[in-house]
Amino acid sequence: MTRQELVDSLGTIASSGTAKFLKTLKESQEASVDSNLIGQFGVGFYSAFLVSDKVAVSTKSPKSEKQYVWESEAESNSYTIREETDPEKLIPRGTRLTLYLKRDDKGFAHPERIQKLVKNYSQFVSFPIYTWQEKGFTKEVEVDEDPAEAKTEGDGETKKETKKKTKTVVEKYWDWELTNETQPIWLRNPREVSTEEYNEFYKKTFNEYLNPLASSHFTTEGEVEFRSILYVPATKKEDITDRKTKNIRLYVKRVFISDDFDGELFPRYLSFVKGVVDSNDLPLNVSREILQESRIVRIMRKRLVRKAFDMILGISCSESRDEYEAFWENYGKFLKLGCMEDKENHKRIAPLLRFFSSQSNEELISLDEYVENMKPEQKAIYYIAGDSLSSAKNAPFLEKLNEKGYEVLLLIDPMDEVSLQNLTSYKDKSFVDISKEDLDLGDKNEEKEKEIKQEYSQTCDWIKKRLGEKVARVDISNRLSSSPCVLVAAKFGWSANMERLMRAQSIGDTSSLDFMRSRKVFEINPEHEIIKGLNAACRSNPDDSEALKAIDILFETSMISSGFTPDNPTDLSSKIYDMMSAAMVGKWATQPQPAQTSQQQPAAPFSFEPEPLEAEVVEPVEAGEQK
């Protein structure tokens, strides 16, 4: 800078030489020149006084033959400009900035701290940055020999010449050291970068010790220009709700800006993705407010998300099934969250989902595999939610579907059911919860169903009258083959799994659940012996106490087998104990007593002492009297 430029740029607050230069550049014919400049407000320089008692700027412009020094102290409101006369401090061209640090801020001058700051923020700028570092090299030096040891080495008249002893020492010196790399890896051609180099850059940048599961290196041009390298980590991210991950490092023209903008560049369900993004379109002084309102960032976000899905899809299509199983174990919940939060990308998320099924032998399958294995007459993707794989697989809802050979997805994770409800369909196949009413298996026989409904209509009304408001209605079931009855949820009501989850979130107050809980349908199997017996009881003696008690037990046991929780488990236990007692007493009391032997017999599980019979006196009957 010249003397006048020192006065205008450093001596005047809020006067930006950069802004003036850019304005001049735009007005000139060189407006198309790419200017990688920072500074617009004319106040950035004064941050030096936050840590310095004094600041000196020595500068030499090619326009002037003289070198000038601008000096100012933090406590003063003035500055001085003088000509440099010291021959040792003269420079041919350029600027030297010297900060005289305050006592409490001497740590800023520590070489390791300076090197760390340069590597963090200016690692990949297009010009080299050197730092003054202490270095050392090893060399051998002679060691003075001990006279006593030298005397013992003599042998008679002749003395052998011995080698002089040496030791290795480190000689230290100071020199300039290149601190930054001038060629960032993302500016290189992906074909020229090896997998080992990608992995090494990942470990070094994000302080990881395991290689990533996958990486994606790409360049986007056209409407928006940026370069990026994305990674899928091998380490599991525990907190699915944590947005402050610092996983995406944002660069602008290779200058590091921040790693705190993950939420603006990626949705929450992809917060596990790590990488770097280098934009040529964003300003160097970008802020979160600018990112939130920037059209450029919205376009960048869409393309970054698309590339992230392509990278994950590459893992799922790999020959090794174990690789994607490892990914799914770590980040399956994140993709399920994406089904709930990102409707626009359902088509990209759905092929990546994995579930257990009734025919998968406890292996996870994709929706593509399910559709491929569907029966020709099957019209929907069937699923059922449960709290465990065993309970879902053995639920009574699967009986008829297993007979037909239909595969059923078993949803055992709390997020599975909500995820499929948000997807609604996949490849024109709708998702159907088999634990809800109006299940259509495509094999209706209207004449037969009409006959059964007529035969059991009275029984259904009788059972509904007994159960009252506990159920919405009683129907004939088309999903049972071996169970006598089942309790299904209403079409728009909660399933047993969802009711359990909502009950857990209600924190003791279940009043808001009463309406949804009451909308259940009690379905009976007319082919089962118990239902046939109840049908006979309904026609012969509908007020029989034992029959009514059987209805109560059937209903409450069906709640358990269907995944619901009985309102009064103690009452159900008492009824079952009473029925068992009556059955066992009747059975064991009519058994013949074993003959007594001289040998001691083991005690029977149940024993009854017969009461002594009393002799009955029969009076004689006279002739003519009726007996």
Whether residue 162 contacts residue 143, with contact meaning beta carbons closer than 8 Å, is answered with no
Residue 154 lies in a domain: no
Among 563, 583, 603, the domain boundary falls at: 583
Which H or E run contains 274? strand 274-279
Among 286, 315, 344, the domain boundary falls at: 315
Q: Is the pLDDT of residue 623 over 70?
A: no
For the residues 243-266, what does the mean pLDDT come to?
85
For the residues 369-396, what does the mean pLDDT come to?
91
For the residues 528-551, what does the mean pLDDT come to?
90
Three-class secondary structure assignment of 66-125: CEEEEEEECCCCCEEEEECCCHHHCCCCEEEEEEEECHHHHHHHCHHHHHHHHHHHHCCC
Distance CA 299, CA 434 (A): 41
Distance CA 489, CA 476 (A): 15
For residues 411 and 454, state if they share a domain: no
- Sign of dihedral through CA atoms 599, 600, 602, 607? positive
More confident residue, 558 or 144: 558
Per-residue pLDDT band at 150 (split at 50, 70, 90): low
For the record, the structure tokens of 541 come out as 């003696």
Range of the domain at 101: 3-109
Bridge partners of 94, per DSSP, are 60
Q: So what's the pLDDT on residue 216?
A: 95
Report helix, strand or coil for 153. Answer: coil
Report helix, strand or coil for 614. Answer: coil
Separation in Å, CA 368 to CA 359, 381, 383, 405: 15, 11, 15, 18
For residues 252 and 359, state if they share a domain: no
Q: So what's the pLDDT on residue 608?
A: 36
For the record, the structure tokens of 53 come out as 């008692």
Residue 137 lies in a domain: no
Q: So what's the pLDDT on residue 610?
A: 43
For the record, the structure tokens of 189 come out as 């051609």
For the record, the structure tokens of 374 come out as 């569907």
CATH of the domain at 372: 3.40.50.11260
Distance CA 297, CA 472 (A): 52
Give the range with max mean pLDDT: 13-27, 266-280, 512-526. 266-280
Residue 604 lies in a domain: no
CATH of the domain at 202: 3.30.230.80
Pairing mode, strands 248-252 and 274-279: parallel
For residues 195 and 308, state if they share a domain: yes
CATH of the domain at 33: 3.30.565.10
For the record, the structure tokens of 256 come out as 């590091």
For the residues 551-566, what does the mean pLDDT come to?
88
Q: Is the pLDDT of residue 578 over 60?
A: yes
Q: So what's the pLDDT on residue 288?
A: 77
Neighbouring CB atoms inside 10 A of 244's CB total: 10
Q: So what's the pLDDT on residue 604?
A: 41
Per-residue pLDDT band at 603 (split at 50, 70, 90): very low
Q: Sheet with 67-73: list strands edge to edge.
A: 79-83, 67-73, 52-60, 94-101
Among 56, 80, 109, the domain boundary falls at: 109
For residues 576 and 451, state if they share a domain: yes
Amino acid occupying residue 244: K
Q: Is the pLDDT of residue 218 over 80?
A: yes
For residues 306 and 367, state if they share a domain: no
For residues 419 and 536, state if they share a domain: no
Distance of CA 580 to the CA centre of its chain: 50
Whether residue 159 contacts residue 153, with contact meaning beta carbons closer than 8 Å, is answered with yes
For residues 409 and 451, state if they share a domain: no
Residue 440 lies in a domain: no
For the residues 539-565, what does the mean pLDDT come to?
89
Whether residue 256 contacts residue 119, with contact meaning beta carbons closer than 8 Å, is answered with no
Residue-wise pLDDT for 451-473, tens only, equals: 999 999 999 999 999 998 888 89
Separation in Å, CA 97 to CA 187, 367, 445, 601: 31, 64, 92, 108
CA angle in degrees (0–180, nearest 5) for 423-428-431: 45
For residues 575 and 494, state if they share a domain: yes
Residue-wise pLDDT for 117-140, tens only, equals: 888 888 888 788 999 888 888 888
Amino acid occupying residue 412: I
For the record, the structure tokens of 178 come out as 């290149």
Whether residue 177 contacts residue 114, with contact meaning beta carbons closer than 8 Å, is answered with no
Pairing mode, strands 52-60 and 67-73: antiparallel
For residues 305 and 394, state if they share a domain: no
Q: So what's the pLDDT on residue 614?
A: 52
Residue 295 lies in a domain: yes
Distance of CA 258 to the CA centre of its chain: 23
Mean pLDDT of the chain: 82
Q: Is the pLDDT of residue 249 over 80?
A: yes
Distance CA 54, CA 76 (A): 10
Whether residue 418 contacts residue 385, with contact meaning beta carbons closer than 8 Å, is answered with no
Residue-wise pLDDT for 85-128, tens only, equals: 888 888 888 999 999 999 999 998 998 899 888 888 888 887 88
CATH of the domain at 452: 1.20.120.790
State the DSSP code for 609. P
Whats the size of the chain, residue-wise? 627
For residues 363 and 430, state if they share a domain: yes
Pairing mode, strands 94-101 and 52-60: antiparallel
- Sign of dihedral through CA atoms 330, 328, 496, 553? negative
- Using CB atoms within 10 Å of the CB of residue 459, give its burial: 0 to 12 exposed, 13 to 18 middle, 19+ buried: buried
Q: Is the pLDDT of residue 151 over 80?
A: no
Residue 600 lies in a domain: no
For residues 84 and 198, state if they share a domain: no
For the chain, what is the domain count?
4
- Using CB atoms within 10 Å of the CB of residue 11, give its burial: 0 to 12 exposed, 13 to 18 middle, 19+ buried: middle
For the residues 178-199, what does the mean pLDDT come to?
88
CA nearest 236: which of 271, 201, 281, 260? 271
Q: So what's the pLDDT on residue 476?
A: 92
Quickly tell me which residue has 């997805």 as its tokens.
409
Separation in Å, CA 385 to CA 397, 435, 497, 552, 556: 11, 8, 6, 26, 20
For residues 402 and 453, state if they share a domain: no
Neighbouring CB atoms inside 10 A of 180's CB total: 20
Q: So what's the pLDDT on residue 31?
A: 47
Report helix, strand or coil for 521. Answer: strand
More confident residue, 297 or 76: 297
Residue 606 lies in a domain: no
For the residues 57-66, what does the mean pLDDT come to?
91
Radius of gyration of the CA atoms of the chain, in A:
43
Residue 618 lies in a domain: no
Q: So what's the pLDDT on residue 63?
A: 87
